[in-house]
Structures are given as C-alpha cells and as structure tokens.
A and B are shown apart, each in its own frame.
Chain A
C-alpha cells in the first residue's frame, strides 16, 4: 500500500466550478501535510500547508482529519490557470522533514 494515496483523475471541470481532491495517508508518523502544485514538466511548488483546524487561502481550502488519516483540498471558482497536477504530501519529522509525495491528481479546467 502506498504511503500517500490520491485519485489520479483527471478531473475535467468547467471554469467557475468547485472541485475537491482527497488524499489518504497510511503512515501515522506523518506529522505535517501539504498540497503542492506541479505544472507539466515543471518542479513542484508549495500551494499550502494543511492543518487540523483547516486553512483557507483565497479560493483554496485545505483540511486534515488525523483520526481518518484523510486530507482534502477544495478549489472554488476554478480558473483555467488552475490546470495542473496537485500533489498531496506528508512530512515525517525525525530531526528533519522527509516529504512523502502522493502520485498526484490531475486537474483540467476548460472554458
């Protein structure tokens, strides 16, 4: 079983739609969580950190449920520029932060 599992998609949505991505993790040692965004053939870039209390950054909302080992990302009012692969990431802290990446969920926003 993969340590971080995501639905690979693709999610094809029209502009303006709301889309939600889910992710589960199996390693209870994971202490910090993130969503990264990766454009085609580019490096991953941090989108946002994920907290148990939930956090929002503009159109993006992330949520962590430690009991269920479940992480979510909600994107409201999708833009064409949101088209990318979204990577769910768990960090295992043990003196340093070792990031474990999911395989990613692909989002395609169309006009």
Chain B
C-alpha cells in the first residue's frame, strides 16, 4: 500500500504563475481533504472532496484557488496567479469513509513563491 502520494514534493513558482498540486489517495479511499500549513502555524482545512464532488470548500480562499477530484486520476489543487503569501506546505489526506475518524496524510507539497 503506497499510502497517500503527493507530487511535486517541492515546487517553486514566480509571482503570477500557476501552481498545480496533485494527490493520489490511498487505495480504496474515495475521500480527499486538502490542508495548508503556513510556516510556524498549524494545518488549516481548505477543502473536502469526494469523487467528482466538492463537499466542503469553506476553507478555500475565494479567489485563485480551486480543487477537483475527477472520476479518474488524482485530486488537483490549483492556485492561479500565485503570490508570496501562498508559500506554504500543502498536505493532502484521505479516508475510506466520510465519517472516518482517522485521516492518513501525504508527505506534502512545499510551494515556494519567489
């Protein structure tokens, strides 16, 4: 079991570029969560998705950020026109059930905006 796979592990972008972060959940998991961790801060919930559905995006910034979890393929977190404040670690987690108490996290994608 490969666990939750995230890529790229490190991404450097210049201001104004786009960042795409990918997350493949654990085998058998159909629920994906994205969290953001700013330096020296805790993880902040961004969005919860099931296959082809966004269930809760209450933590997503209103502009420039979007997420999807298509029927086939990984979940994608997309950040358009990145700014320096977007520099953070973005963690993806998955669970097999919507009410599962335990989330398994991926190793994270570290975005640096120059």
Contacts and interface: CB of A to CB of B under 8 A. Distances in A.
Chain A interface category by residue count: 20 to 34
A93 B103 contact: no
A32 interface: yes
A96 B35 CA distance: 15
Interface string A1-35: 00010000000000000000000000000001010
Contacts of B69: none
Contacts of B99: 93, 95-97
A49 B102 CA distance: 9
Contacts, number: 56
B102 A87 contact: no
Interface residues of B, number: 26
A69 to B, nearest CB: 17
Interface string B80-114: 00000000010100010011111101111010000
27 contacts: A32-B101, A34-B101, A41-B89, A41-B110, A42-B107, A43-B107, A43-B108, A44-B105, A46-B103, A49-B101, A87-B42, A91-B101, A95-B98, A96-B56, A96-B99, A97-B95, A97-B99, A97-B100, A97-B101, A98-B48, A98-B56, A99-B45, A99-B103, A100-B45, A101-B35, A103-B40, A103-B42
Interface of B: 31, 33, 35, 40-45, 48, 55-56, 89, 91, 95, 98-103, 105-108, 110
